[in-house]
């Protein structure tokens, strides 16, 4: 037995006898002893004082018997804890004190208090699910006693409903002027190996009997008490608040509006030109987004790129704005040359850049382009017509066709529009359809881009199955017809003669006229005076290239023997590049496969455009572990698959044909690894995952019988599973759009948010991660558009979150792998924290800050080992799961943020202790799994160093 003293004097003894305490002595000796002790009594109060708060801070005595423990926590609550061990009859935890009822109070006298626990068994029926359940009913009770007699009792097995309890009010058998002994008690009436009539057991997937399961008789419970008050008749009582709630309100009052995230940047903004594959001697175009701080310098109008003092001719577009309407993101198109290793983002007065060499001219119908040495037309029957380079015919005609249901169907252009007309990149958009007399099979978008002083033409094709029916695609062909047979044709393996067929059958099987060749070399077909290359030729197999009778056919879906079925709403994007003149095909195809980008992690983080972020320099253990684990690794090494619909994705739990489909927010996780400075390879991985998700997972049309338009397919069979709320996160897609300028992504972010609004996604769901996905999606759309409808929706969702949480505890209690244990799941709570934090900073909705800080309070108080600071059981409250530090990366920023929003050193101490554990354990989760808070963690680490 353990006895702890909280006021002068000492009492030791057993808990009070009740109907469960038959073997114990009468409490009369207790009361006599208490009366003899020098206990400071509560003073009588005037009649206007209708309630007495019985604060836990002083005047109470506590006792524990057996494995029970108790403590007062940061939230002003008393926690009684029985660990995950077998319980013994008579085990208990009690807290008691003597009280005097004021003599002028009116009857009835009552006691009001808050009491919850994290165990439930009543009303639960065993089933055949994978969840475990150890149902103990009639074993353990939470009680209130007056002079040793029970006045309120509840089985801890009672239901644990969602939301904040309204509190309990119990009439007491006491009179005005009376002194009595009040006790709060947790008591084991039966040991866990003695079954009651209502006990049950469910083994989950193990298939074991209760006797075979060593955990079947272990019984864990946490009981939380608070806000105890003695009331006279008619007195009002309200639930108390966590001290951190007041701290949040104080912080908001004193600091709102908050200064923008990020920090000033001193000196020139020098951006590294990353070009791992090099670029041809002629140079190569790059397209990159660059973030700016709010009102940075004089903003977008004067922003420019330069090398030394030489201004780079570039397209410049404001792709996103800060709330003050200053530019947040600038998208640049510009040339990169072999000797270009750094580029400066500078701010100087804008110069008029008259486009004297290029022009785009509408035709009726069609469009004509003439840029420097390159000119061509695009007309309804031909995507390219009369292509000339330096006044010499280069390509007579090129068209797009699809092989569907045994017939080759030529595309039909429906519209032509100008997207950009210089000064560097000139782009037109052709939109059309694939159809015959019987049905429309698909639509497409073809972006044709040419570049000042560079000999390239980009054909960016997106095929979209927006028909509501499956599309069995046996071929998707771009056919380029030359004025004469190309001379000296060659492919990566060497010269090929006059006719050839090159097939990419799988990621490890490429054949030239049925002879195996290196399957991994960047693809190209070259001839005297030109070349064609394609991004992801190997990765998005099956592909083929064949030359015959002056026509080169690039088949983007060479599946004639086994058509690939594109599901309703699905798309696929391809980049086919043409080069003209004496361009080295090896350098050309290398640049196509791995184009140049701009990067400077420290500057990018300093802008605040990525939210709270800093580089991994502040966390060397993470940086070094990443370098060791991932340098030089391929997608195969990371367990990802290849193929037209599958690259780069991996099997979901249970194996194929189930696919992960961005489980668990791979997009933002991979971008985060790149942002914190761990290398260019992460940019490419993020690009490829985002492109895959954008094409295959986003639902672009109505599906019969499903209200899924705009959503993302969740993990499951064949990339067609229904939307899964945690996977609706789209901030990674928004970063993708900002950084790359991919033209269809902004619409996808908005469509996902509209879906969440339309179907009220997850609004009534009990799991925190279900709310996290839509909250992220709606915030991402708001950040892009500033549309008030997303502001209204986000505020509504924050309100709903607080209704489901137990705000008094700060907890989001839910089951996780067990039917009977219901508590916090910290790694899931952390998924909700980021959009809450960003939303609060963007709008000042203090309820979002309250929700975040409440969750941090609950994680530290309920999921952290009582004896080891920082030892957070991050994966689950379920005692069957061993505590792990694997999820510290995603959880730690929540605790750091709670300190930022309260200035309470309690949270800073907790975060530092947890970070110390992570530093020692070095259990860093994969960037493919819940990694997206890593930049936020670096921000928290950097910020705490200043405290």
User: Domain ends where: 555, 576, 593?
Assistant: 593
Length of the chain equals 947
Q: pLDDT band at residue 300, thresholds of 50, 70 and 90?
A: confident
User: Domain ends where: 544, 566, 593?
Assistant: 593
193 located within any domain: yes
Q: pLDDT band at residue 13, thresholds of 50, 70 and 90?
A: very low
Q: pLDDT band at residue 301, thresholds of 50, 70 and 90?
A: confident
- Rounded to whole angstroms, the Cα distance separating 589 from 832 reads 42
Q: Are 560 and 627 found together in one domain?
A: no
pLDDT reading at 47 higher than 80: no
- Rounded to whole angstroms, the Cα distance separating 894 from 897 reads 5
Q: According to the model, what pLDDT value does residue 855 have? A: 99
Q: According to the model, what pLDDT value does residue 947 have? A: 79
- DSSP 8-state code for residue 43: P
Q: What is the pTM of this model?
A: 0.93
User: Closest Cα partner for 914 from 947, 860, 871?
Assistant: 871
Q: Tens of pLDDT along 435-486?
A: 998 899 999 999 999 999 999 999 999 999 999 999 999 999 999 999 999 9
Token pair 């067929």: residue? 501
Q: Are 320 and 428 found together in one domain?
A: no
pLDDT reading at 45 higher than 80: no
Q: What is the mean pLDDT of residues 771-795?
A: 98
Write the burial class of residue 922 (CB in 10 Å: 0-12 exposed, 13-18 middle, 19+ buried).
Answer: exposed
303 located within any domain: yes
Residue 358 or residue 728, greater confidence: 728
User: Closest Cα partner for 167 from 247, 224, 105, 118?
Assistant: 224
662 located within any domain: yes
256 located within any domain: no
815 located within any domain: yes
pLDDT reading at 270 higher than 80: yes
754 located within any domain: yes
- Rounded to whole angstroms, the Cα distance separating 377 from 107 reads 94
Ramachandran region, residue 605 (left: φ > 0; alpha: ψ -120 to 50; beta: rest): alpha
User: Closest Cα partner for 371 from 455, 285, 461, 482?
Assistant: 455
CATH of the domain at 67: 2.60.120.260
88 CB-near residues (< 8 Å, 6+ apart): 66, 67, 188, 191
Where are the strands (E) in 640-789, listed by range?
Answer: 658-659, 716-717
Q: pLDDT band at residue 352, thresholds of 50, 70 and 90?
A: low
CATH of the domain at 385: 2.70.98.10
Q: Are 277 and 226 found together in one domain?
A: no
Assess contact for 801 and 778: CB atoms under 8 A: no
Q: Tens of pLDDT along 635-672?
A: 999 999 999 999 999 999 999 999 999 999 999 999 99
Q: According to the model, what pLDDT value does residue 24 have? A: 34
Number of CB atoms found within 10 A of residue 377's CB: 18
Q: Are 587 and 627 found together in one domain?
A: no
480 CB-near residues (< 8 Å, 6+ apart): 384, 395, 398, 532, 551, 552, 553, 554, 578
- Rounded to whole angstroms, the Cα distance separating 828 from 875 reads 8
Q: Are 538 and 623 found together in one domain?
A: no
Beta bridge partners of 345: 269, 305
- DSSP 8-state code for residue 485: P
Q: How many domains does the chain have?
A: 4
Q: Are 756 and 638 found together in one domain?
A: yes
User: Closest Cα partner for 790 from 779, 802, 776?
Assistant: 779
946 CB-near residues (< 8 Å, 6+ apart): none
Residue 866 or residue 28, greater confidence: 866
User: Domain ends where: 571, 593, 615?
Assistant: 593
Q: Are 745 and 882 found together in one domain?
A: yes
Q: Are 54 and 8 found together in one domain?
A: yes
Mean pLDDT score of the chain: 93
pLDDT reading at 771 higher than 50: yes
- Rounded to whole angstroms, the Cα distance separating 812 from 830 reads 11
789 located within any domain: yes
- In the chain, the percentage of residues whose pLDDT exceeds 90 is 90
Q: What is the mean pLDDT of residues 884-911?
A: 98
pLDDT reading at 297 higher than 60: no
Q: According to the model, what pLDDT value does residue 437 have? A: 85
pLDDT reading at 40 higher than 70: no
Q: Tens of pLDDT along 533-563?
A: 999 999 999 999 999 999 999 999 999 999 9
Residue 760 lies in domain: 600-944
- Type and span of the H or E element at 793: helix 788-804
Q: Is 296 helix (H, G, I), strand (E, B) or coil?
A: coil
Q: What is the mean pLDDT of residues 7-24?
A: 31
Q: pLDDT band at residue 358, thresholds of 50, 70 and 90?
A: low
Q: Tens of pLDDT along 370-392?
A: 999 999 999 999 999 999 999 99
pLDDT reading at 30 higher than 60: no
Q: Are 620 and 739 found together in one domain?
A: yes
791 located within any domain: yes
Q: Are 707 and 585 found together in one domain?
A: no
- Rounded to whole angstroms, the Cα distance separating 749 from 747 reads 5
Q: Are 493 and 629 found together in one domain?
A: no
Q: Are 165 and 287 found together in one domain?
A: no
Q: Tens of pLDDT along 177-186?
A: 999 999 999 9
CATH of the domain at 766: 1.50.10.10
Q: Given CA atoms 641, 644, 647, 650 in this order, what sign does their dihedral have? A: negative
Q: Tens of pLDDT along 568-585?
A: 999 999 999 999 999 999
Q: How far apart are the first and last CA of the chain?
A: 41
Q: Tens of pLDDT along 213-256?
A: 999 999 999 999 999 999 999 999 999 999 999 999 999 999 99
């Amino acid at each position: 037995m353990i006895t702890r003293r909280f006021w002068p004097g000492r009492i030791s003894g057993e808990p009070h006898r009740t109907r469960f305490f038959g073997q114990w002595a009468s409490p009369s000796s207790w009361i006599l002893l208490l009366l003899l002790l020098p206990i400071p009594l509560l003073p009588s109060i005037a009649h206007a004082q209708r309630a007495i708060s019985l604060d836990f801070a002083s005047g109470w005595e506590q006792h524990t018997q057996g494995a029970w423990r108790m403590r007062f926590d940061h939230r002003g609550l008393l926690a009684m804890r029985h660990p995950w061990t077998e319980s013994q009859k008579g085990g208990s935890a009690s807290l008691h004190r003597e009280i005097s009822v004021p003599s002028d109070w009116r009857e009835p006298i009552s006691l009001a208090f808050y009491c919850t626990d994290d165990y439930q068994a009543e009303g639960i029926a065993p089933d055949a699910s994978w969840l475990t359940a150890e149902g103990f009913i009639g074993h353990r009770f939470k009680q209130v006693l007056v002079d040793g007699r029970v006045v309120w009792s509840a089985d801890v097995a009672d239901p644990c409903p969602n939301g904040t309890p309204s509190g309990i009010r119990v009439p007491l058998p006491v009179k005005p002027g009376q002194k009595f002994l009040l006790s709060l008690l947790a008591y084991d009436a039966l040991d866990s190996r003695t079954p009651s009539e209502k006990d049950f057991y469910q083994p989950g997937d193990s298939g074991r009997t209760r006797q075979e399961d060593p955990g079947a008789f272990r019984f864990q419970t946490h009981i939380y008490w608070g806000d105890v008050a003695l009331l006279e008749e008619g007195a009002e009582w309200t639930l108390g608040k966590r001290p951190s709630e007041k701290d949040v309100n104080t912080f908001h009052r004193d600091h709102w509006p908050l200064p923008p995230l990020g920090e000033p940047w001193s000196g020139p903004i020098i951006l590294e030109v990353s070009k791992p594959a090099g670029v041809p001697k002629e140079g190569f175009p790059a397209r990159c987004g660059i973030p700016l701080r709010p009102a940075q310098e004089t903003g977008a109008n004067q922003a420019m790129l330069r090398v030394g003092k030489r201004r780079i001719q570039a397209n410049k577009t404001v792709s996103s704005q800060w709330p003050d309407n200053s530019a947040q993101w600038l998208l640049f198109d510009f040339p990169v040359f072999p000797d270009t290793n750094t580029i400066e983002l500078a701010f100087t007065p804008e110069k008029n850049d008259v486009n004297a060499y290029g022009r785009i001219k509408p035709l009726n119908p069609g469009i004509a382009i003439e840029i420097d040495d390159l000119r061509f037309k695009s007309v309804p029957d031909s995507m390219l017509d009369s292509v000339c380079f330096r006044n010499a015919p280069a390509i007579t005609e090129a068209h797009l066709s699809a092989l569907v249901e045994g017939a080759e169907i030529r595309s039909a252009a429906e519209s032509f529009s100008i997207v950009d007309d210089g000064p560097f990149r000139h782009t037109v958009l052709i939109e059309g359809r694939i159809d015959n007399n019987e049905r429309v099979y698909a639509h497409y978008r073809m972006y044709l881009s040419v570049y000042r002083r560079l000999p390239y033409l980009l054909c960016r094709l997106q095929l979209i199955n927006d028909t509501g029916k499956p599309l069995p695609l046996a071929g998707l062909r771009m056919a380029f017809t030359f004025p004469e047979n190309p001379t000296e044709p060659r492919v990566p393996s060497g010269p090929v003669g006059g006719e050839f067929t090159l097939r990419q059958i799988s990621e490890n099987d490429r054949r030239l006229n049925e002879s195996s060749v290196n399957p991994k070399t960047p693809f190209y077909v070259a001839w005297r005076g030109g070349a064609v290359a394609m991004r992801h030729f190997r990765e998005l197999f099956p592909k083929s290239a064949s030359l015959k009778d002056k026509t080169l056919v690039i088949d983007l879906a060479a599946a004639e023997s086994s058509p690939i079925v594109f599901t309703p709403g699905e798309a696929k994007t391809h980049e086919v590049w043409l080069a003209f003149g004496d361009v080295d095909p090896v350098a050309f195809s290398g640049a196509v496969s791995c184009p140049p980008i701009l990067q400077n992690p420290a500057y990018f983080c300093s802008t605040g455009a990525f939210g709270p972020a800093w580089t991994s320099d502040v966390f060397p253990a993470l940086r070094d572990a990443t370098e060791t684990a991932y340098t030089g690794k391929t997608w195969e090494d990371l367990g990802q698959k290849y193929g037209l619909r599958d690259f780069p994705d991996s099997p979901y739990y249970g194996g194929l044909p189930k696919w992960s489909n961005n489980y668990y927010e791979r997009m933002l996780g991979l971008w985060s690894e790149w942002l914190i400075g761990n290398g260019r390879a992460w940019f490419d991985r993020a690009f490829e995952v985002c492109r895959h998700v954008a094409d295959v997972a986003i639902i672009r049309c109505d599906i019969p019988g499903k209200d899924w338009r705009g959503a993302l397919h969740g993990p499951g069979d064949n990339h067609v599973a229904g939307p899964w709320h945690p996977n609706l996160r789209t901030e990674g897609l928004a970063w993708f759009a900002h950084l790359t300028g991919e033209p269809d992504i902004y619409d996808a972010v908005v469509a996902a948010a509209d879906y969440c609004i339309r179907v009220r996604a997850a609004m009534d769901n009990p799991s925190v991660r279900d709310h996290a996905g839509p909250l992220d999606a709606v915030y991402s759309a708001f950040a892009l558009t500033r549309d008030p409808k997303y502001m209204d929706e986000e505020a509504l969702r924050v309100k709903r979150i607080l209704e489901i949480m137990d705000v008094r505890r700060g907890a989001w209690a839910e089951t996780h792998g067990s039917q009977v244990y219901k508590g916090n799941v910290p790694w899931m709570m952390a998924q909700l924290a980021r959009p809450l934090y960003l939303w609060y900073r963007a709008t000042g909705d203090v309820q979002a800050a309250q929700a975040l800080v409440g969750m941090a309070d609950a994680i530290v108080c309920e999921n952290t080992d009582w004896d080891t600071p920082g030892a957070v059981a991050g994966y689950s409250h379920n005692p069957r799961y061993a505590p792990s530090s694997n999820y510290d990366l995603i959880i730690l920023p929540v605790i750091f943020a709670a300190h930022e929003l309260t200035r309470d050193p309690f949270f800073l101490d907790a975060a530092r202790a947890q970070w110390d554990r992570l530093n020692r354990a070095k259990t860093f989760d994969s960037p493919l799994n819940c990694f997206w808070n890593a930049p936020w963690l670096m921000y928290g680490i950097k910020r705490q160093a200043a405290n």
